[in-house]
Each structure stands twice: as C-alpha cells, then as structure tokens.
C-alpha cells in the first residue's frame, strides 16, 4: 500500500500543479470553489506522501478501506482534470478592462460591467457556458454596457452555471436602481437563464440564448426571447436549435450566424467537439453582438 500511496501522492500534487501553472490567471479570476478543490487535492497528496514512508499496516478490512479510498481519490482527480476551464483570451479581456466607457468590477460571484454614466434601459445577467472562464464573454457584452446597460456575468462555482441557480435574483436585488432585466446564457448557461425567465419574476423582460436551448418547456413564460446560433456549431447543432422551437415562447426571434461555431460566442479558443467555421470570429461576433443589442434595446423600458 505504501507504493500506491506514493503514486497517488504524486498524482495529486501533479494535477494541482498542472492546473495552477496552466490556468493561474483563470483561477484568480474565477469562483474560489475550484482553487479550494485543487488546494485540498494538493494537501491530500502531501499527507499521502508522508504516510507512504510509514511501515505497512496489516489487516484485510483496513486494506479494503484504503483501496476504496484510493478509487475515490482517483475519481476526484479525474473530475479536477475535467473541470480545468477554457481560458479567456487575455487580449480581449484587457481591451474590456481598459475601456474608458465601462467600469469593470470583480467579486467571487460575478464580473460586472457598469456604464460610467447613469444606467439606462434593462440590465443584463449572463450565464457563461460550462467550464468557460467568465471573462471570455466580457468583450462581447461590453457594447451593452457602453450603451448604458448594467451587465452582470455570473461567476459560478467550478465554472458550471447550474451550480449558481440564484445568481440572477441576487444580481437583481443588488441593483434596485435597475427596474427591468434581460437574462441570457451561452450553451449550458442557457438552462439557468431559461429557468429564471420562466420563474415569474416580474423584473425579467427578456431571454436571449447563445448556442443554447431550454431544458424544459417555457413556451408560456411571459417574456420575449431571442435565440442566436451558428449553423456550423458542432455542440449545439442546428438540429438541436430547430427542435427547441416549440419549447420557447411564441414570437421568439431566431438568428443564425452563417458559418458560426460554438466557440465564437466567447473568446476562449477552440472547444473540443466543435464544428469547422466558415467565417471569421470577428464577423460572427459582430452578428452576435448586433442581434443581442437590438433585442436588449427593444426590451428596455422607455
């Protein structure tokens, strides 16, 4: 068992160091849940490494317990590797932070883009896609803030939007100066956004989905809706979007980005399983921004 402990100790420390070295900036910018998990894994590795030096302890029951513990630890390590987020493009992030027309604020639970002047129109709460650095969406959402809208990008635990179901309501309550809101999300982030839109909160005026669709029927939700998708998306395919039409409110606007793929809805590089683009990222994002701006403006109070 001492040899197994040594191997597991090295694996724990190696995984924690690998993620920290390759995603340090992303860890600092994200929710603290993932760094805490990595710290715990590293600590377990250190403890196992120290115990590997001790004498072998006999006993079938104790050995069985240690084997089961080793299996659980391997599963935790596999989860930690899988949870390694897609990093945001630092150039796009820097351009947003440097904007003179937007104030950027970061907390454990969100990234906020606030117009430097008096907020106008509807506020926006946005749920990122799974395992994507929330900063990857700041550049695409910045034009909304520059037009006077408060924009809150959810910073979910482990970068999984489903783990922050009440984030939108918290954002609404934190900004009583904003009377109406539009919620949106990319990919998996569209699920909590859709749930919020259908939840009956009268402050919600609209829902926009980027390469996403609701997991349940929200056709009766009292909100306007926009679906923006790419026709070369390999993850949220055109067939998926077509099948979702009946789940969305009547009158939902469907905008297709010709040649667009899943990864074009954020600045985080290539995503595994995505399709092959037939247009540039810049051109696709111009279309995404234009469609979203028009929708948010239309749903803003006069």
Closest to 266 measured CA to CA, from 158, 120, 111, 98: 111
Do residue 95 and residue 78 come from a single domain? no
Q: What Rg do the C-alpha atoms of the chain give, in angstroms?
A: 22
Rounded to an integer, the average pLDDT of 23-34 is 94
How much is the pLDDT for 134? 97
Helix (H) or strand (E) holding 42: helix 33-51
* Strands 181-186 and 123-127, bridge-based pairing: parallel
Give this prediction's pTM. 0.92
What span, in angstroms and rounded, lies between the C-alpha atoms of 4 and 49?
10
Do residue 110 and residue 65 come from a single domain? no
**Phi, psi for residue 156 in degrees, rounded to 5:** -85, 150
Q: 225 forms bridges with which residues in the sheet?
A: 207
At which of 33, 49, 82 does a domain end? 82
* SS3 (DSSP) at 221: coil
Is there a contact between 264 and 284 (Cβ–Cβ < 8 Å)?
A: yes
How much is the pLDDT for 65? 63
The count of domains in the chain is 2
What span, in angstroms and rounded, lies between the C-alpha atoms of 118 and 84?
38
At which of 62, 82, 102 does a domain end? 82
How large a percentage of the chain has pLDDT more than 70?
95
pLDDT digits (tens, 9 = 90+) for 133-181: 999 999 999 999 999 999 999 999 999 999 998 999 999 999 999 999 9
Q: Which domain holds residue 187?
A: 90-298
């Amino acid at each position: 068992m001492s040899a197994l402990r040594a191997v597991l100790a090295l694996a724990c420390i190696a995984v924690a160091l690998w993620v920290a070295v390759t995603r340090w900036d992303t860890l600092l910018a994200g929710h603290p849940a993932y760094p805490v998990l990595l710290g715990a894994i590293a600590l377990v590795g250190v403890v196992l490494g120290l115990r590997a030096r001790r004498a072998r302890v006999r006993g079938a029951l104790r050995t069985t317990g240690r084997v089961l513990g080793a299996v659980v630890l391997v599963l935790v390590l596999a989860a930690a590797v899988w949870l390694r987020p897609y990093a945001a493009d630092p150039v796009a992030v820097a351009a947003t932070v440097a904007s003179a027309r937007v104030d950027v604020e970061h907390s454990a639970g969100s990234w906020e883009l606030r117009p430097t002047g008096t907020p106008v129109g509807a506020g926006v709460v946005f749920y990122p896609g799974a395992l994507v650095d929330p900063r990857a969406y700041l550049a695409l959402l910045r034009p909304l803030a520059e037009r006077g809208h408060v924009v809150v990008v959810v910073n979910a635990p482990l970068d999984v939007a489903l783990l922050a179901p009440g984030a939108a309501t918290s954002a609404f309550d934190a900004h009583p100066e904003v009377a109406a809101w539009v919620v949106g999300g990319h990919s998996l982030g569209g699920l909590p956004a859709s749930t919020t839109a259908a939840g009956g909160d009268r402050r919600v005026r609209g829902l926009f989905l980027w390469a996403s669709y609701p997991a349940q029927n929200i056709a009766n939700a009292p909100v306007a809706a926009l679906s923006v998708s790419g026709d070369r998306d390999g993850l949220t395919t055109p067939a998926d979007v077509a099948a979702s039409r009946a789940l969305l409110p009547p009158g939902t606007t469907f905008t297709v980005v010709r040649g667009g793929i899943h990864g074009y809805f954020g600045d985080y590089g290539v995503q595994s399983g995505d399709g092959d683009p037939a247009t540039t990222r810049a051109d696709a994002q111009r279309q995404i921004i234009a469609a979203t701006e028009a929708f948010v403006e239309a749903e803003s109070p006069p």
